[in-house]
Amino acid sequence: MPDNPVGFCFLSAVPLRSDPTDCAEMVDQFIFADTFDLLERQEKWTYVRSHYDGYEGWLDNKQFKLLNVRQYEEVRHWQSKGSYGRSIRIDGVFV
């Protein structure tokens, strides 16, 4: 498990913004099942770093799920099997 709290993208595509506002430039995007470190939390936005390519930016708090250690291990196991395109179950719930 990474040192920082970890997030999981449960939507098909989520914009990663340069600043914590919907009007800010989109610097990257996450797709379903991407994971990332949470570096700074605000009321509506969180500054994150991608596990895939190291990009950093702001995500809307409504657009990701915070993972605990067990959930993170479930996601990593699912990713290691090359299961993209199939549903993933976290804590018994398909996302």
Contacts of 4 by beta carbon, 8 Å cutoff, 6+ apart: 37, 38, 39, 49
What is the pLDDT averaged over residues 43-54? Answer: 96
Q: Please write the tens of the pLDDT for every residue from 53-74.
A: 999 999 999 999 999 888 888 8
What is the pLDDT averaged over residues 6-22? Answer: 95
| Mean per-residue pLDDT over the chain, rounded | 87
| pLDDT recorded at residue 73 | 84
Count CB-CB contacts under 10 A for residue 85.
Answer: 7
In this prediction the pTM is: 0.82
Bridge partners of residue 38, in order along the sequence: 48
